[in-house]
Chains A and B, each alone.
Chain A
Amino acid sequence: MSTDVIEGGRVAQPEDPVDPTEPGGRARLASVWAELRRVSGRSTGVIAGLVILCIYLAITEPIFATWGNITNVVAGNSVILVLAIGATFVILSGGIDLSTAAAGAAAGMVFGLLLEHGAGGLLAVLGTLAFGLLLGFVNGFLISYIKIPFLVVTLGTLSVFESFGLVVNGGKTINTFSLGGFSAVYKFTLNDVAGIPYLLIFDVILVVVAALVLRFTSLGRSIYAIGSNSEAARLNGINVARTTLLVYVIAGLCAGIGALVQVGRLTGASPNIDSTLLLTVIAAVLIGGTAYTGGEGGVGGTVLGVLFLGIIQNGLTLSDVSTFWRGTVNGVVLIVAVALGVARDRGWLRLPGGLRRG
């Protein structure tokens, strides 16, 4: 089938628009600016919140703006960020993955056991990543090919993965500190180059890769299309089942990566899951402006969401507020952020010029 069957033979009609993207420096700049506003539109709230929060903390807590504290925030939120990147893919496609924290814990136990059985660093790392992929594949296969609703599947696997983590080592934590092959992972999570933590560099690379995949690949475009209207995506020839499978596999891979970071930082693999982790991960994605209904948002927003929640935690710690408040703060921020998004989408918020959605 040729690509150019239609001739431009139609007589121009009065309604034909003036080409808005006519080349020309100023017009081009204006269109770039409009695009920037459109992209940042969904994150306007979180950016504003983040700036206010940082200014406040910088003034009230002298330690806040130190490099040491900043690297501390980065390190402390890397696991959340990695899982949240996976969750962003899933939520963009119109689904949700409740099993991600449990998958991370299970993969962490696999990493610990591989090290314990002398698999060596490289093999243990690859094995853990492969295990994460496998867990994601299970989720994705049940959802896309067996067509079980994603809430049911991931709620089920949440329980199964958690239980798996407990079963494999009788519920005991594995101390990995002295195990052969662990030191590389440990150093990676701890050390820095010229003051910049490896972990920060790694996070940046991961975010950039994810953003590029979402924006510039057929896979990324397909994910947005499916999240926006899966029937329309299917009728345009997109393989919805395969794409959905891949989305959950990516989330599984992220759980595997998250497990490595977690074990590396804690120098131990624990089957006990931080009960706030799942909520924090999903909250970060939604606060970052990714629509819970799918099809809209991206990893850029997720980074902001993770930072926002991370800095609030950091602020609470610095101001000596009990960590018991953490859940309350996260929950309230999540609801307020999504409510603001809903208000904006319905046009209840009439922001002045530059802030209005383009």
Chain B
Amino acid sequence: MAEDARREQTPLISVVGAVRRYPGVTALRGVDLEIAPGEIVALTGENGSGKSTLSKLIGGVEQPDEGTILVDGHETVIPNPAAARDLGIVMISQELTLAPSLTVAENIMMGRLPRRRGAVNWSAARRQARAVLDELGVHVCVDTVVRELSVELQQEVEIARAISSRARLLILDEATSSLSEAATERLLELVREQARRGVAILMISHRMPELYSTAQRATVLRDGALVGSVPLPSTPEPELVRMMVGRDLGDYYGSREVEIGEPVLTVADLVSADGELAPTSFEVRAGEVVGIAGLVGSGKAQLAMALGGAIPASGEVRVRGRAVHLGAPSKAIEAGIGYVPDDRRRAALLPVRSVADNFSVAWLRRLGKRGVIRTKMERREVRDAIARYGVKTSSPGKRITQLSGGNQQKVILGRTFARGCDVYVLSEPTRGVDVGSKSAIYSMIHDLARAGAAVVVISSELPELIGISDRILVFFRGRVCGELAGAEIDEHRIGELAVSGRIHDSLPGHEQERKLDHVN
């Protein structure tokens, strides 16, 4: 149906032969793209393939060096984002653009507040904002100050604002990357509804399931060139992935035969000081990968931070039997815990420093000899790590922010892995990372397990968690509400546990739940 629609109608937007050059690189080399009204097109490709450059051209953020953009069949120059907005082109990215200190109503109506005799008509503004939210089914009070909303609700308000501004083309740039599964599903439903009303949608996402559930067509870029445009969901996933990375990834998550050994990490009654993590106990054995699932706010993020020493916590954590002093990252490191936080930008990157500095910041103690850095050793180890973890960079001196998200993450993970820890706590290790890098990261995680480390992976992407974990603990309201291993692991059960805290048929998860209820 969508195919037919595309042939009959004038495309809402078409990009013809777009070329964009940056100093030293050509980000786009003659790319074509067409989107018809009501069509949902996924723009896919690895990081650095030119997706965001293309969306910037459409959004008026940048200008093509060659090629043209046609809106409704007419050649159009989009000189700036304001002009794009006037054309009905609205961009939603993962970074929120709401004013945190203003209310929901003020944010939604910003720039078009209804007036009466020169003064703002607040009751009308609130009414109109309410109507927008109701129409989209967003349940939030219009008088709430945005700062006080969860990130997910903020994202929904952002989308409500975008949609209510009479968008004709909605560009979603990784808009779901910070959302939980449930919130993502709601967002995608909003998007589908908009498409049914004739809004054209361009979605950029690394998450395969959401592309398959939402988009009608996928346009694939690789190294700035158009690889092809294929119908969804009829194109099988391996085929699409092959188009993106230009080769067969084989078994995406990697298979492995690992001897599970002695318990390495033992956690008893671990509680975070903010109370988000209720007393939690579990153990992880050598060679084991344990996945942590749960909704946002379930305590899984606090578990990772508590184990890494990033937040104050109490209880007992032991590595190979030795107690870990809690609440200090340096103590966790000394105890042999390698923690990688989920928020790369806020807590992991040294943005103005080089690739080399971003590696060695994790090794200062080892590289130092009476306080002096052994630079020869540093250079050698950085070079080794760049090669071992497959970081694509022209030089170790290059600024880390000039690398793609996937390569930045390989540096962040690599510097921790190279420390040789007994336990790894990896929070959202593949967030904002392209398909090729994801597969590389999974194989790194398997290497850690094979070398005898105990690995804890916290992730909001269930397929990934299921693909790499030997065992999955599901968190609900701050505690483990279920544990699944081997054949019991499936998306449905995890989802049910995460949402309601239990499984409705009789499954081994119950036993765990009863045990925990007992503790309370």
| Residues in A lying within 8 Å of B, measured CB to CB | 1-10, 13-17, 19-21, 31, 34-35, 38, 216-219, 221-222, 224-225, 228-229, 231-239, 291, 293, 295-296, 350, 356, 358
Contacts and interface: CB of A to CB of B under 8 A. Distances in A.
Contacts of A225: 350, 353, 357, 361
A5 B451 contact: yes
Given A7-B447, A350-B23, A228 B352 contact: yes
Nearest to A239: B330
B50 interface: no
A235 B341 contact: yes
25 contacts: A2-B420, A3-B419, A4-B420, A6-B448, A10-B388, A13-B390, A13-B440, A16-B387, A17-B391, A20-B393, A21-B379, A35-B397, A217-B368, A218-B368, A221-B373, A222-B364, A225-B350, A225-B357, A229-B347, A233-B361, A237-B330, A238-B361, A238-B364, A295-B353, A356-B23
Contact of A231 (B347, B352, B395): B347
Interface string B373-391: 1010001000100111011
A19 B397 contact: no
Interface string B50-67: 000000000000000000
Contacts of B333: 236-237
6 A-B pairs with least C-beta separation: A228-B350, A5-B420, A237-B330, A218-B368, A237-B333, A1-B336
B436 A15 contact: yes
Given A19-B383, A228-B353, A296-B352, A6 B371 contact: no
Contacts of A218: 364-365, 367-368, 371-373
B501 to A, nearest CB: 31
B418 interface: yes
B397 A34 contact: yes
Prevailing SS type, chain A contact patch: loop
Interface size class, chain B: 35 or more
A282 B357 CA distance: 26
Nearest to B336: A1
Nearest to B24: A356
Contacts of A291: 352
Contacts of A229: 346-351
A224 B353 CA distance: 8
Interface in B220-264: 247
Contact of B451 (A7, A232, A235): A7
B420 A3 contact: yes
A232 B352 contact: no
B444 interface: yes
Given A6-B420, A234-B329, A235-B341, A14 B351 contact: no
B453 interface: yes
A231 B448 CA distance: 25
Nearest to A212: B372
B414 to A, nearest CB: 9
A10 to B, nearest CB: 6
A228 B368 CA distance: 20
Contacts of B373: 216-218, 221
B297 interface: no
Contact of B390 (A15, A31, A296): A15
Contacts of A296: 352-353
A6 B23 contact: no
Contacts of A217: 368, 371-373
Given A10-B388, A216-B372, A232 B350 contact: yes
Interface string B407-438: 00000000101111110000000000000100
Contact of B361 (A38, A221, A293): A221
A7 B362 CA distance: 19
Most buried by A among B341, B372, B391: B372
Among A225, A350, A356, residue most surrounded by chain B Cβ atoms (within 10 Å): A225
B367 to A, nearest CB: 8
B390 A16 contact: yes
B440 to A, nearest CB: 7
Contact of B329 (A17, A35, A237): A237
A216 B443 CA distance: 34
Given A4-B420, A237-B333, A10 B392 contact: no
A216 B374 CA distance: 8
B286 to A, nearest CB: 11
B35 to A, nearest CB: 29
A232 B364 CA distance: 13
Contact of B392 (A8, A17, A34): A17
B87 interface: no
Interface string B23-34: 100000000000
A216 to B, nearest CB: 5
A284 B416 CA distance: 38
A3 B444 CA distance: 16
A350 B398 CA distance: 18
Contacts of B334: 237
B475 interface: no
Given A6-B417, A295-B351, 13 more contacts: A1-B336, A3-B419, A3-B420, A5-B452, A6-B447, A17-B390, A217-B371, A222-B364, A232-B350, A235-B310, A237-B330, A237-B364, A293-B352
A13 B391 CA distance: 11
B139 interface: no
A235 B371 contact: no
Contacts of B398: 358
Contact of A235 (B308, B368, B390, B421): B308
Interface string B151-183: 000000000000000000000000000000000
A228 B387 CA distance: 25
Contacts of B362: 236-237
A234 B346 CA distance: 12
Given A17-B392, A224-B357, A235 B352 contact: no
Contacts of B394: 20
Contacts of A233: 350, 361
B360 interface: yes
A356 B448 CA distance: 40
A38 B453 CA distance: 39
A20 B382 CA distance: 12
Contact of A17 (B354, B386, B415): B386
Contacts of B440: 13, 15
B372 A232 contact: no
Contacts of A295: 350-353
A232 B397 CA distance: 19
B347 A232 contact: yes
Contacts of B448: 5-6
